[in-house]
């Protein structure tokens, strides 16, 4: 911290607000020393920070309160988060018979198995494809070593996205344990498809909720009402973020302008719950959305489908 302060001072710079205050993840603007004492500079800097981060807002009870601004984080899905810790890796040894490998793959409905020695050394894979190719050779295969399938490996903490093409081309990849000594699991193309579907689904549903809210609010609520309800942060419906709808619809009289036969308090709470979920999702956590959060999203979407049946 002292080093940063010294370097800023040597270059005639400072930050607004001071970087030594508040949460470590907050944003600041670098300005010339002395400019921070100018109220206009501070006001402009604050407005810029709010404008740049308004999509990550958290709903508050009063629209004129400062909102908690959550900076977006890059999507960091790692192989270790995809491996099922409760599922042991099914494997065979190089000296095991092809019959055993076939039997295990049929039993577990697998397309491939890891080939691992008794001491835990990983060698390669055996698959239906490699077995079929082995039987096309002049000498019929007898052991797994005769039906090798080159296998990709990934570290437990390696990023998934850079290896997407590799997995697509080879259909699977084995993941080493965190200490690198054993195989923690296998990730297939199907696993990736299912996982990315889990990740994309809540974003898609929340986007639909927002689209239906925006359509109705824009048609029924005057821009002046929106500007007042959001403390002049939003001048019309087109600039509203999801969390801002709770401010716009907080007053029951404004809610009634929508013409929706729904309980005001119940609907407003549902909007707040989904806004919080959306804000949390801006962290891009690879963890699946909990069941209670799915209930909140599905509940709001069901309400909106009932009162706004148009696509």
Mean pLDDT on 117-130 = 94
The tokens describing 144, both together, are 């797994």
Give the Å distances, CA to CA, from 289 to 29, 97, 110, 188, 284. Answer: 34, 43, 27, 22, 11
* Residue position matching structure tokens 């407003």: 268
Digit-coded pLDDT (tens) for 14-34: 776 665 654 444 566 676 766
Mean pLDDT on 139-154 = 93
Question: In terms of DSSP H, where are the helices of the chain?
Answer: 2-10, 39-53, 79-82, 98-108, 128-134, 164-170, 189-220, 223-229, 244-248, 252-256, 264-281, 291-307
Mean pLDDT on 161-183 = 91
Digit-coded pLDDT (tens) for 237-254: 999 999 999 999 999 999
272/284: higher pLDDT: 272
Q: How far apart are the first and last CA of the chain?
A: 53
pLDDT at 63: 41
Digit-coded pLDDT (tens) for 208-223: 999 999 999 999 999 9
* Beta bridge pairs of residue 149: 125
Q: Which residues contact 210 (CB under 8 A, 6 or more apart)?
A: 242, 245
What pTM, to 2 d.p., does this model score?
A: 0.57
Length of the chain, please? 311
pLDDT at 180: 87
Q: Which residues contact 249 (CB under 8 A, 6 or more apart)?
A: 217, 255, 258, 264, 267, 268, 271
Nearest 5°: CA angle at 35, between 57 and 37?
85
> What's the pLDDT band for 5 if we cut at 50, 70, 90?
low
Q: Which residues contact 73 (CB under 8 A, 6 or more apart)?
A: 282, 283, 284
Mean pLDDT on 159-188 = 91
pLDDT at 181: 87
* Beta bridge pairs of residue 185: 175
Checking if the pLDDT of 36 tops 50, the result is: no
Name the nearest CA neighbour of 4 among 36, 45, 14, 31: 14
pLDDT at 57: 45
Name the nearest CA neighbour of 196 among 281, 288, 72: 288
Checking if the pLDDT of 54 tops 60, the result is: no
3-state helix, strand, coil in the chain (%, to 5): 50, 15, 40
Checking if the pLDDT of 69 tops 60, the result is: no
């Amino acid at each position: 911290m002292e080093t940063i302060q010294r370097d800023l001072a040597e270059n005639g710079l400072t930050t607004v607000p001071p970087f030594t205050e508040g949460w470590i993840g907050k944003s600041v603007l670098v300005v010339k020393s002395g400019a921070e004492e100018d109220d206009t500079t501070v006001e402009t800097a604050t407005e810029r920070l709010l404008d740049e981060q308004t999509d990550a807002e958290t709903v508050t009870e009063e629209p004129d309160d400062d909102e908690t601004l959550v900076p977006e984080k890059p999507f960091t899905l790692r192989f270790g988060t995809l491996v099922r810790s409760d599922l042991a890796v099914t494997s065979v040894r190089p000296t095991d018979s092809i019959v055993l490998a076939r039997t295990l793959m049929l039993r577990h409905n697998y397309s491939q198995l890891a080939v691992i020695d008794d001491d835990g050394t990983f060698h390669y894979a055996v698959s239906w494809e490699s077995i079929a190719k082995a039987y096309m050779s002049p000498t019929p295969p007898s052991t797994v070593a005769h039906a090798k399938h080159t296998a990709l490996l990934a570290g437990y903490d390696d990023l998934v996205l850079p290896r997407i093409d590799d997995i697509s081309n080879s259909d699977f990849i084995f993941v080493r344990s965190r200490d690198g000594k054993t195989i923690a699991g296998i990730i297939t193309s199907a696993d990736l498809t299912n996982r990315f579907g889990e990740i994309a689904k809540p974003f898609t549903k929340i986007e639909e909720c927002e689209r239906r809210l925006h359509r109705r609010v824009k048609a029924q609520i005057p821009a002046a009402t929106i500007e007042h309800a959001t403390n002049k942060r939003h001048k019309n419906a087109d600039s509203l973020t999801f969390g801002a709808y709770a401010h716009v619809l907080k007053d029951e009289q404004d809610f009634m302008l929508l013409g929706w036969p729904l309980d005001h308090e119940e609907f407003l709470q549902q909007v707040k719950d989904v806004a919080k979920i959306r804000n949390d999702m801006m962290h891009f956590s690879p963890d699946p959305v909990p069941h209670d959060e799915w209930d909140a999203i599905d509940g709001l979407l069901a309400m909106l489908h009932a009162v706004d049946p148009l696509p």
